[in-house]
Amino acid sequence: MAKFNQEKFNQFVLENKVVGFFEEPIILKSGRPSHWYVNWRNVAEDIFLLDKLVDHVIAFVEDLGFQPDCFYGVPEGATKLGIITQYKWAKKSPNYGLESHVLPMGRGKPKDHGEPKDRFFLGQPKGKTVILEDVTATGSSLLETIDNLTQAKIQIIAAIGLTNRMELRDDGKSVKEAVEAKGVPYFQMS
């Protein structure tokens, strides 16, 4: 079992320029202005770096004591992270074999018709599922994903953000408070 090393993860974040600072504020997906930005896309675009990131995620999950059946990335920013994490997790499983693990992927935009498994997914998560998100500010994408998985009757055992911007939502809650109000434990890696 790998041991998560916070210092090494923080160094990984810095070495790969995941965090940036700007003189002029930028507008985040949440609609809020910010002088600093978290961008995991450069890591997600490089197979070597994504592989290293997934090793950190798996070590983090193992240290928390979770034994999920499935990892699922919030569409679309964490889709690759979810797929590669699920793949590596399945490959190291002692029961890895034909039909032992699904490879789930969420749709960026749900279809207007059909069952939830087809409306929201290209391969629906199964079993104990950990949701992965790259960056949380207000948590709107993560909360929407929780709602979609709940509607599809998926058992969510945790939500993990690679980076939490530590902002308060308009309702005064943190992302952790908003996610946990839905009955899902929330953890952040940075």
Question: pTM of the full predicted structure?
Answer: 0.92
Helix orientation angle between 6-15 and 47-64, rounded to the nearest 10 degrees = 160
6-52 confidence digits (pLDDT tens): 999 999 999 999 998 888 998 887 788 889 889 999 999 999 999 99
Strands (E), 5-154: 19-27, 33-38, 70-73, 128-136
pLDDT reading at 93 higher than 70: yes
> Are 26 and 37 in contact, with CB atoms under 8 Å apart?
yes
- Mean pLDDT score across all residues of the chain: 94
Q: How far is CA 150 from CA 19, 46, 107, in A?
A: 32, 32, 15
Domains in the chain, ordered, with CATH?
6-188 (3.40.50.2020)
- Which tokens sit at 74? 């919030």
**Which residues fall within 8 angstroms of residue 149, CB to CB, at 6 or more apart?**
72, 120, 125, 129, 131, 156
- For position 182, what pLDDT does the model report? 98
- For position 180, what pLDDT does the model report? 98
Q: Residues 169-184: what's their mean pLDDT?
A: 96
Q: Which of 19, 22, 58, 24 is nearest to 165 (CA)?
A: 19
